[in-house]
Amino acid sequence: MNVKPESKQITVASIAATSAEKTELKQPADASVAVSPVVKLKMEIEQLDAERTALVKTTIENLKPGKPFDQSVVRDINKIETRKNRLIVARFAALLRKNGPEVQAIVHQIIEI
């Protein structure tokens, strides 16, 4: 019963394009309200966390003796985690492109780890 996550080679450009497509789809009709990228990222991550939590709760509630466990739930949770990680990586890649002093501090901390 080993569940092996799918491994795909993904470039930073495709991650950014995917996240840009998703954000374009989620924009409200009133475009005059501008949301900063940091706030938008936090909202999307919270939404993905809420979706994952709801999926886990539903799965736990549906567990019954004698009923087989649905492995597709694990795949769905992994897909949600993958989307979340891609959002974070896309944001980090955007920060690296800016090459500001705050980004250099982050990179320095990561290198020390």
DSSP state of 72: H
Percent of the chain, pLDDT > 70?
Answer: 70
* Domain parsing of the chain, residue ranges: 34-112
In one-letter notation, the amino acid at residue 111 is I
- Which secondary structure element, helix H or strand E, spans residue 41, and what is its range? helix 37-62
In one-letter notation, the amino acid at residue 107 is V
- The parts of the chain modelled with pLDDT lower than 50 are 1-25, 30-32
Mean pLDDT of all residues in the chain? 76
According to the model, what pLDDT value does residue 87 have?
92
Integer Cα distance of 112 and 109 in angstroms: 5
Cβ 59 vs Cβ 73: under 8 Å: yes
